[in-house]
């Protein structure tokens, strides 16, 4: 059974930092592209960051470039998102997504940026 579980969400002040983690199992993590997709309250879906199988390629949405860093640990089947200089507009549920063509989604981690 595939499981994708995010952790690390919470309330942070503008300008602060947060690190999201994702633990995956039930599929071959080391051969899968992994992504973070976010959904602001009441809004649609937005793909924030992508990382290839061995971590040598990273792709970022322009609005988070220079502030967010995606990384992975294939030995631990884990994905991460380091978020710095957070803004109110980064408030969203962040989903860890893996597998070919966005096959597997986690339950999401809520990040709230507010003073």
Partner 1 sequence: DVVMTQSPLSLPVTLGQSASISCRSTQSLVDTAGNTKLHWFQQRPGQSPRRLIYKVSNRDSGVPDRFSGSGSGTDFTLKISRVEAEDVGDYYCMQDRYWPHTFGRGTKLEIK
50 binds partner 1 (CB under 8 A): yes
Site for partner 1 in 16-45 (CB under 8 A): 35, 37, 44-45
102 binds partner 1 (CB under 8 A): yes
- Contact in structure between 38 and 63 (CB atoms under 8 Å): no
Q: Sign of torsion, CA 47 52 109 5?
A: positive
Segment near partner 1 (CB under 8 A); pick from 13-21, 23-31, 56-64, 78-86? 56-64
Segment near partner 1 (CB under 8 A); pick from 10-18, 24-32, 70-78, 100-108? 100-108
Calpha distance 28→38 (Å, rounded): 23
Least Cα distance to 58 among 74, 46, 40, 71 occurs for 71
Least Cα distance to 37 among 80, 96, 98, 99 occurs for 96
Among 47, 55, 78, 82, binds partner 1 (CB under 8 A): 47
Binding site for partner 1 (CB under 8 A): 35, 37, 44-47, 50, 59, 61-62, 95, 100-103, 105-108
């Amino acid at each position: 059974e595939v499981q994708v579980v995010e952790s690390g969400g919470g309330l942070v002040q503008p300008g602060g930092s947060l690190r999201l983690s994702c633990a995956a199992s039930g599929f071959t993590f080391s051969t899968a592209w992994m992504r973070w997709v976010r959904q602001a309250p009441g809004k649609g879906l937005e793909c924030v960051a992508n990382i290839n199988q061995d971590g040598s390629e990273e792709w970022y949405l322009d609005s988070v470039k220079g502030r967010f860093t995606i990384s992975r640990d294939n030995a631990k089947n884990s994905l991460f998102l380091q978020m710095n200089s957070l803004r109110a507009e980064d408030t969203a549920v962040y989903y860890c997504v893996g597998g070919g063509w966005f096959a597997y989604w986690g339950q999401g981690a809520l990040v709230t940026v507010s003073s």
